[in-house]
Structure 1
Amino acid sequence: MSDLSWARTRTIPDVVAPGLDVLFCGINPGLYSAATGHHFARPGNRFWPALHRSGFTPRQFHPSEQESLLELGLGVTNLVARATARADELTRDELEEGGRILTELVATHGPRFVAVVGITAYRTAFARPKAAIGAQPERLAGARLWVLPNPSGLNAHYQGPALAAAFAELRAEACRG
């Protein structure tokens, strides 16, 4: 793959609208995603397959179809807008500020659920060092809060079926209420 360092200056627009069922929140754009302008775009990222396998989408969407999520009551954003090669390049301050910005976005658009995709980033952004994957006891600006595993191919702890199962738990809860 060619050098994508030029993509560090790019951001990806949020895919958001008022009253979504679920707003997915990634950590930050990778360089490949920033270069394409699409969320979770890097080949090998398992977000789009997990979204489909869990029943959120009727078929596996390509990242370039991200706007189609809105028709399904879904959206996508990031905690931090800055593109990096790896999420561990982000600072604690950036993640904490991202948590504040996400809270404002949620207050403005009112999704029923917010799903932060990445436990370590969630723990840092919201000062919840003991948080676990799944439903969270607190709400975020009125929305029910959920934490999902990071779908990056670099996350060896969750393979495809386990990742899809984690997404499916959220889908089942979102369908219930």
Structure 2
Amino acid sequence: MATIELKQEQKSMTLINVLSVAIPVVVAILLGIRQKVEIGAWTKVLPHVIGAINTLTSVLLLYGVYLIKQKQIERHRKVMTGAFALGALFLVCYVLYHLTNPSTSFGGEGFIRYIYYFILISHISLSLVVLPLVLRAYFFAWTKQFERHKKLTRYAFPIWLYVSVTGVIAYLMIKPYYL
């Protein structure tokens, strides 16, 4: 029985590893496509939807930590599943927007430009780091490996929160330059 569980976990970890590499690679390829697809003007609102998703994700992450500290495990599970689902929705909206619209340039000048690019670069870099951490943490929780889940979330949570909050900050900073 333990061998079966170990093999299943190995398969799951392999899938997590593949997704952790494939998702950023596919997103990078899609961002590199210069020819944009026309599916309607509604895609122009997607940056605002993405900003809202990042805001709500940040709130859910903080609420999830509060709930687990209050030992409200079932509510914590539901809230964190919501944050995880928002991550998937973010990815869909992000890809749709960049497939259909040219990238928006930041128009700020002077020192604020350095701040914006620091936030943006750290946000993007850490989003690559947090993806496999969140996938593993979710897997450990789902398979009731709570000690492993707890140990991993010590690292995953602050990075995920940072990525969510800096996503909101970057959005607010670039919002005036959307067409």
**Common fold by TM > 0.5:** no
TM-score, normalising length: structure 1: 0.28
Q: Pick the structure with greater CA Rg.
A: 2
Higher helix fraction (1 or 2): 2
Greater share of strand: 1
